[in-house]
Amino acid sequence: MADLPDINLDKPAPADRSSSDIDQFTLERLDGQIAWYDRQSTINRRLFKTFKTVIITSAATIPVLTTAGLPHGPQIAAALGVSIAVLEGVQQLNQYQANWANYRTAAEALKHEKYFYLARAGPYLECAKPHITLAERIEALLSQENAKWFMSQTQSTLNDPLRTVR
Q: Pick the range with the lowest mean pLDDT from 44-53, 89-98, 148-157.
A: 148-157
Residue 165 lies in a domain: no
Residue 86 lies in a domain: yes
Q: Does the global pTM surpass 0.85?
A: no
pLDDT in tens, 32-66: 999 999 999 999 999 999 999 999 999 999 999 99
Residue 82 lies in a domain: yes
- What domain range is 54 assigned to? 20-159
In order, the DSSP letters of 49-96 are HHHHHHHHHHHHHHHHHHHS--TTHHHHHHHHHHHHHHHHHHHHHHTH
Mean pLDDT, residues 104-131: 93
Number of domains in the chain: 1
pLDDT > 70? residue 162: no
Q: What is the pLDDT of residue 10?
A: 54
